[in-house]
């Protein structure tokens, strides 16, 4: 099941859900480390996560997946506690992080951010 989830969570699939602009903003959120508590629930076919808000509290995200008769998994819809509420950049950011977690690699932060972190230490 994890393999089919990982193939579902490609950048192209996420862009289809939220569009190019929201995807670009989601990449920034994912790379900045603002996405956390990402979980997969195979029984209910959901991906859950939280995204640090800039002004308000953290946003809770639930992405609902659907399974076809052939066993293929696809994104059905997403909900978020942000003002947009559905198929937003926060949901895309959770899926980006979920994809990287399943692939066993970290979301790469920009070089300038890693350099600044070294300087600050």
Question: What is the per-residue pLDDT across 76-112, written as a single tens digit (0 to 9) for each?
Answer: 789 999 999 999 999 999 999 988 887 765 565 556 6
Percent of the chain whose pLDDT exceeds 90 = 43
Q: Of 10 and 91, which is predicted with more confidence?
A: 91
For the chain, the first-to-last Cα distance in angstroms comes to 41
Residue 114 C-alpha from the chain's centroid: 21
Decide if 5 contacts 14 (C-beta within 8 A). no
d(CA 84, CA 82): 6
In angstroms and rounded to an integer, the radius of gyration of the C-alpha atoms of the chain is 15
Model pLDDT, residue 14: 87
Encoding tokens for residue 100? 């990287």
**47-82 residues labelled b (16+ CB within 10 A) or e (exposed):** bbbbbbeeeeebbbbbbebeeeeeeebebeebbbbb
3-class SS of residue 34:
coil
Q: Mean pLDDT over residues 60-70, rounded?
A: 83
| pTM of the entire predicted model | 0.78
């Amino acid at each position: 099941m994890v393999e089919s989830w990982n193939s579902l969570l490609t950048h192209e699939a996420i862009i289809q859900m939220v569009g190019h602009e929201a995807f670009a903003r989601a990449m920034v959120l994912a790379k900045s480390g603002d996405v956390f508590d990402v979980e997969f629930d195979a029984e209910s076919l959901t991906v859950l996560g939280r995204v640090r808000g800039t002004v308000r509290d953290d946003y809770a995200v639930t992405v609902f997946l659907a399974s076809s008769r052939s066993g293929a998994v696809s994104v059905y819809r997403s909900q978020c506690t942000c003002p947009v509420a559905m198929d937003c950049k926060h949901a895309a950011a959770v899926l980006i992080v979920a994809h990287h977690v399943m692939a066993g690699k970290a979301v790469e932060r920009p070089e300038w951010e890693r350099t600044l972190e070294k300087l600050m230490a």
